[in-house]
Amino acid sequence: MKILIEIPTWLGDSVMVTPAIENLLKYYDKAEFSIIGSPISIEIFKNHPKISKLKVLERRYLSLYKSSKNLGNFDIFFSFRSSFRSKIFKFLISSNKKFKFNANKYRNIHLVEKYNGFINDSLNTSFNAGKLMIKSSLNPNPIRPKKIFGINPGASYGEAKRWYPEEFAKVAIAISHQYDILIFGGPSDKKNADVIESLLIESGVLNYQNIAGLTSVPELIKEISNLDFFLTGDSGPMHVAASFEVPTISIFGPTKDSETSQWMNEKSIILKKKLDCQPCMKRACPLSHHNCMKLIKSEDVLDAISTIN
């Protein structure tokens, strides 16, 4: 039996879909599995022993027909995407059975449970959603003299999700005597990461490394897996940290922590202000004050760190 799975586009979503996919792999124990997704999302499954093939699905609509025909024939197709483009792709795929995720059907539950509910509804099963699962291809870093504290100022959804680099820097400066500091981020986060770096230098902190914009997805996974503590916004790296159960403080502003917080990480703390305007789910603050982030201070983070340590 041949099964094709279309996975979500974003890094965090592709991590949160892993419990549902593990249940699929368990149900179809003898099947041959192929996964198709974005260049970022397929990296999560590159080292999975039960995934036979990985393929990048190009974003252009004109490429959908060619991609669908090049993939060949399947017995079953599952799509974890809910977009219009995925509807077209489902129509084009040659498969005896086809199942497609409908985001509107699953509300007010965690995204991990939404994806898992889709599998249970498709197969008429009652699988529980297990832990997040990433299999890193790179060896762990050698033991270092100090523990490592990671800070991630990035968030791909929009500016409204971003906490301030000055506050990140205050936290890093305060705990730099206990931890070496590792600054994360994608290419679009490099400006904020550089601000943090400059503030660390001004304060005489030298035990840091700024790797924003410099890591591949496998390298990002390896570095996060080696952390002793992580401070981040609602982001893809936050879910990578959850998969390795890294002690984490997650700062939430406009998004729903009930749906996208870390899954099954016992050492996870959510920091947010319970404002009437939360969660607005907007990319930029519609009220122009950004209080959901502005009112969270470095002291709040430091207090939260002390409760985990």
18-57 per-position pLDDT tens digit: 999 999 999 999 999 999 999 999 999 999 999 999 999 9
Q: Are residues 152 and 119 in the same domain?
A: no
Amino acid, single-letter form, for residue 228: D
pLDDT at 285: 94
- Residue 152, domain CATH: 3.40.50.2000
229-233 β-sheet, strand order: 208-210, 179-183, 147-152, 229-233, 248-251, 268-271
How many whole angstroms separate alpha carbon 106 and alpha carbon 115? 9
Q: Are residues 101 and 151 in the same domain?
A: no
Kindly state whether residue 138 falls inside one of the protein's structural domains: no
The structure's pTM equals 0.95
pLDDT less than 50: residues of the chain = none
pLDDT tens-digit map of 201-241? 999 999 999 999 999 999 999 999 999 999 999 999 999 99
pLDDT at 309: 66
Kindly state whether residue 66 falls inside one of the protein's structural domains: yes
Q: Are residues 58 and 197 in the same domain?
A: no
Print the domain residue range for 301. Answer: 147-308
pLDDT at 102: 95
Final residue of a domain: which of 123, 139, 163? 123
User: How far from 107 is each of 86, 175, 260, CA to CA, in Å?
Assistant: 20, 39, 12
At residue 111, the 3 state secondary structure works out as: helix
